[in-house]
């Protein structure tokens, strides 16, 4: 059996990467739009409705427009944009979120792909909330170090043009404290308050790590760093794309520096707990174009269609 798949936004950063994943597959027939019709509404609508699965790799407004074009009840949309991540009727494309999430993705015809920072934040904290170690009322903060491909074609062009010395050093952003991923971070961790979130974009193509610093006194009385690592390990037991590292991962501690790019070219998420007697850092590392975007989208397609979740690479 082959499935017809269309990528709306096929020339963008996320769309191109999805094409790379699909190119190697025999169970998928990729529908292509002519270059000069990429933004032609009628042609997009025709291909969207001809697809079993259509990926939306578009700005938010164009994604909403595309969703409104669907008349075929069989078409499953997987939206990479921020447009539908907390909208009712859309399933959140993070199979590892909680028990039962895969069933939701199997049944859904509308799947929203998580944001890259949000995926890392949610995967790091949701198990701690579920285990009762972190209260839903907790006030947390997070930083995220990310490569510039997270900013799509325009940011990639800016970095690759060269000539701007300001881009050589890491740049904190979202200083208005209203990053677009905050609603999904709250929604899918169960936290009642938005984290104080500071993303930082660096002069490297891809790779991302979210860090959540916590005082142990903020957690359930008596919680130790070990308990956090064990809660993560228990939550993700058997998950092929989530690797929970040993407490105070020796290799990283010995080198003294954390490698933000070590999950690149994979769909993997590595979770770390570094701790002292009084404090911890919970860290989640991923490839922002892999599990942070295109890899996650293809994984959700596989779950939806009941196929092996591996990405065929």
Ligand X SMILES: NC(=O)C1=CN([C@@H]2O[C@H](COP(=O)(O)OP(=O)(O)OC[C@H]3O[C@@H](n4cnc5c(N)ncnc54)[C@H](OP(=O)(O)O)[C@@H]3O)[C@@H](O)[C@H]2O)C=CC1
In terms of DSSP H, where are the helices of the chain? Answer: 13-23, 41-50, 60-68, 101-107, 116-130, 152-161, 182-189, 225-235, 250-255, 295-305
DSSP type of residue 284 = E
Using the rule CB under 6 A, which residue among 5, 12, 126, 189 binds ligand X?
Answer: 12
Using CA atoms, how far apart are residues 143 and 183, in angstroms rounded to an integer? 16
Smallest gap from Cβ 174 to ligand X, in A, equals 14
Using CA atoms, how far apart are residues 140 and 292, in angstroms rounded to an integer? 22
Using the rule CB under 6 A, which residue among 75, 143, 149, 223 binds ligand X?
Answer: 149
Over the window 71 to 110, marking each residue x when it contacts ligand X2W by CB under 6 A and - when it does not, the resulting string is -----------x----------------------------
- Cβ–Cβ contacts within 10 Å for residue 43, how many? 14
- Number of Cα atoms under 13 Å in the Cβ half of residue 16: 7
Using the rule CB under 6 A, which residue among 13, 63, 75, 146 binds ligand X2W?
Answer: 146
Residue with tokens 């025999």: 26
Using CA atoms, how far apart are residues 71 and 99, in angstroms rounded to an integer? 31
Over the window 275 to 304, marking each residue x when it contacts ligand X2W by CB under 6 A and - when it does not, the resulting string is -----------------xx-----------
Using CA atoms, how far apart are residues 91 and 86, in angstroms rounded to an integer? 9
Is position 263 annotated as part of the catalytic site? no
- Cβ–Cβ contacts within 10 Å for residue 145, how many? 21
Binding partner of residue 146 among ligand X2W, ligand X, none, CB under 5 to 8 Å per kind?
ligand X2W
The answer to whether residue 190 forms part of the interface with ligand X (CB under 6 A) is no
Q: Which entry of 57, 116, 209, 263 is annotated as an active-site residue?
A: 116
Tokens standing for residue 307: 């196929």
Ranges within 192-231 binding ligand X2W (CB under 6 A): 199, 201
For 88-140, list the strands marked E by DSSP: 91-92, 110-112
Ranges within 46-75 binding ligand X2W (CB under 6 A): none
The answer to whether residue 150 forms part of the interface with ligand X2W (CB under 6 A) is yes
The answer to whether residue 46 forms part of the interface with ligand X (CB under 6 A) is no
Residues 6+ apart with CB under 8 A from 232: 124, 127, 128, 244, 271, 273, 282
Q: Among 30-38, 47-55, 150-158, 301-309, which window interacts with ligand X2W (CB under 6 A)?
A: 150-158
What is the set of active-site residues? 116
Residues that bind ligand X (CB under 6 A): 8-9, 11-15, 38-39, 57-60, 62, 80-82, 115-116, 149-150, 152-153, 288-289, 292-293
Question: Interface with ligand X2W by CB under 6 A: which residues?
Answer: 82, 115-116, 146, 148, 150-151, 155, 180-181, 199, 201, 292-293
């Amino acid at each position: 059996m082959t499935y017809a798949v269309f990528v709306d936004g096929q020339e963008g950063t996320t769309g191109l990467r999805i094409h790379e994943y699909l190119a190697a597959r025999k169970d998928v027939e990729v529908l292509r739009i002519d270059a000069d019709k990429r933004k032609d509404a009628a042609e997009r609508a025709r291909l969207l409705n001809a697809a079993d699965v259509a990926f939306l790799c578009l700005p938010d407004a164009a994604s909403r427009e595309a969703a409104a074009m669907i008349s075929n009840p069989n078409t499953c949309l997987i939206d990479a944009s921020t447009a539908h991540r907390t909208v009712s009727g859309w399933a959140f494309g993070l199979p590892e979120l909680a028990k039962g999430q895969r069933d939701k993705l199997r049944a859904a015809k509308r799947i929203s792909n998580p944001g890259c920072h949000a995926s890392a934040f949610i995967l790091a904290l949701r198990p701690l909330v579920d285990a009762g170690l972190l209260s839903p009322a907790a006030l947390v903060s997070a930083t995220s170090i990310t490569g510039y491909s997270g900013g799509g074609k325009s940011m990639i062009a800016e970095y690759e043009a060269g000539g701007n010395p300001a881009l050589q050093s890491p740049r904190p952003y979202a200083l208005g404290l209203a990053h677009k991923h905050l609603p999904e971070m709250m929604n899918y961790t169960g936290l009642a308050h938005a984290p104080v979130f500071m993303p930082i974009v660096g002069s490297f193509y891809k790779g991302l790590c979210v860090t959540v610093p916590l005082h142990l006194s903020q957690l359930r009385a008596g919680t130790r760093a070990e308990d956090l690592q064990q809660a993560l390990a228990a939550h993700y037991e058997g998950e092929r794309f989530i690797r929970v590292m040993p407490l105070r991962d020796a290799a990283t501690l010995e080198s003294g520096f954390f490698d933000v790019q070590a999950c690149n070219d994979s769909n993997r998420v590595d979770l770390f707990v570094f701790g002292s007697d009084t404090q911890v850092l919970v860290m989640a590392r991923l490839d922002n174009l892999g599990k942070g975007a295109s890899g996650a989208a293809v994984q959700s397609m596989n779950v939806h269609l009941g196929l092996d979740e591996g990405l065929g690479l």
